[in-house]
Structure 1
Amino acid sequence: MIREVTFRKTTYNEFPYKFEAGAPNIAGAIALGAAIEHVSAVGLDAIAAPEHALLAYASAQAARIAGLRMIGTAADKASILSLTLAAIHPHDVRPILDQHGVAVRAGHHCAMPVMERVGVPATVRASFALYNTREEVDALHCLLPRARHRRYSADV
């Protein structure tokens, strides 16, 4: 990556060598191989069906919460529920859920043009996978209405 480093100057190597710093991610490659083997053994359909069913359940539950807006409601989409709550920023919702053991992400999710298009600064995003349960969805939806009554700093 570096051709020469002195107290006076640093000279970077030529392309493509200047982008080859550090040791290769060997552990990541091994983990990826194991993940591919697992997904192949279970099967994509066996993974997708319960995820889609859980997303349908979560979407139906979310539709019942006053002031909740779902972002991205395509019929055949990944098992991700993105939402906003009226009058509370997603960065204030996330720590409330986190304090109760419900893990979500909040932010623009590297999709700022999409956020601008739908007119929101950010969303709360719950991602569902094969290992998630309806009880976890219920916990999420039980806590969302409470988030409106408590405010946290976006720094939390």
Structure 2
Amino acid sequence: LEAMPPYQTGGEMIETVSFEKSTWNQLPYKFEAGTPNIAGAIGLAAAIDWFNQQDREALQAHEDALLVHATKQAEAFDGLKIIGTAAKKVSVLSFLLEGAHPADVGMLLDKQGVAVRTGHHCTMPLMDTLGIPGTVRASFSIYNTLDEVDRLFEALEKVKTFL
């Protein structure tokens, strides 16, 4: 046990820390990486219980309706280009706004209380192949509403006028 390195790190397993060197605490503390995420485990169990009580077909239909609604608005939005138009896809809308960098669009949406992801989304080779710096990605799920999809496009109108 003395020779074996810890497989996890965390509180109380360190005796000393400096920029040059750290030393492990005495046994058994060397292998006690702090308190596990107990609240997270309880929350995950509650979420699984809730999800198992739901009508999964209804949840899927809801997500599909959100994507259809968002796609229709995106197709009608002047200067917006959808990236990824497969017939069957998850409820994610990736897009570019003409003349704007995805990071700028994301920041301006965030300032309006609209959460999106921006960047290459761990697909740098794909973005290079497409010749784009990344995308803005809106993800819709069972907890979203059609009103929130509308809010995204209202906020995009303001972004468009600003940029």
TM-score (norm 2): 0.76
Measured on the aligned residues, the alpha-carbon RMSD in Å equals 2.7
What's the secondary structure of 1:106's corresponding residue? strand
What's the secondary structure of 1:33's corresponding residue? helix
Residue 52, structure 1, aligned to residue 64, structure 2? yes
Q: Which runs of 5 or more residues in structure 1 are unaligned? A: 13-17, 152-156
Which structure: larger Rg?
Answer: 2
Q: Which residue pairs with 1:154 in the alignment?
A: none
* Residue-pair matches, total: 148
Q: 1:86: Cα distance to partner? A: 1.0
Residue 78, structure 1, aligned to residue 101, structure 2? no
Q: Which runs of 5 or more residues in structure 2 are unaligned? A: 1-8, 25-29
Q: Which residue pairs with 1:140 in the alignment?
A: 152
Matches of 2:151 and 2:17 in 1, distance apart? 57
Structure with greater contact order relative to length (CA < 8 Å, sep ≥ 6): 1
**1:28-74 deviation digits (Å, cap 9, x = unpaired):** 11111111111110132221111011101100110011221111221
TM-score (norm 1): 0.79
Q: 1:102: Cα distance to partner? A: 1.8
What's the secondary structure of 1:42's corresponding residue? coil
Matches of 2:87 and 2:74 in 1, distance apart? 15
What fraction of aligned residue pairs are identical, expressed as a percent? 51
